[in-house]
Amino acid sequence: MKTSSIGRKLIQSFEGYSSEAYLCPAGVWTIGYGHTRNVKQGDTCTREQADIFLQEDLKTAEDAVNAQNLKLGQLQFDALVSFVYNVGAGAFESSTLLKKLKTSTAATSEIEAEWKKWKYANKVELKGLVRRRAAEYALYKRGFFLLTLPIVILAAIVTVVVIIKNRKK
């Protein structure tokens, strides 16, 4: 499977765009839409390069999800790709979340609990990760983002918040 435009927008809304390399809360140099491979201090990128990085990173996350042979609908796939995009394929592949997803007897509450555990960077709970996990899980479970708020509106709100936060720095 491939990530839909909904999944892509979800990832972009939570990652945000940065033309300059920065240290993320986990202490990793990051640029574009959460791209980390071979990024170092002082690196810059255009939106076009960020889109290329995004496509490459999406493929890595998609391959990790597809390799698990899970029976997923499109929006469930999108939610898992967003999760893997953020935590990394290795962390996903060794996670209890994946074990629960592969167990047909796992209750949805168990899957939700495992999903939402991934809210820390350097042992600090981050509000952004709490929101991201809630959004991903809502997409996974219900097949749509929030009951009353379309993803496009939420993405716009998150983008404005990120812009405002970045201006304050």
At residue 6, φ and ψ (nearest 5 deg) are -65, -45
Amino acid letter, 60: T
Q: Can you tell me which residue has the tokens 């405002």?
A: 164
For the chain, give percent helix, strand, coil, nearest 5.
60, 10, 30
Active site residues: 15, 24
- Other beta carbons within 10 angstroms of residue 21's beta carbon come to 18
Q: Does residue 35 sit in helix, strand or coil?
A: strand
CA distance 106 to 66: 20
At residue 81, φ and ψ (nearest 5 deg) are -65, -40
- Got the DSSP string for 109-134? HHHHHHHHT--EETTEE-HHHHHHHH
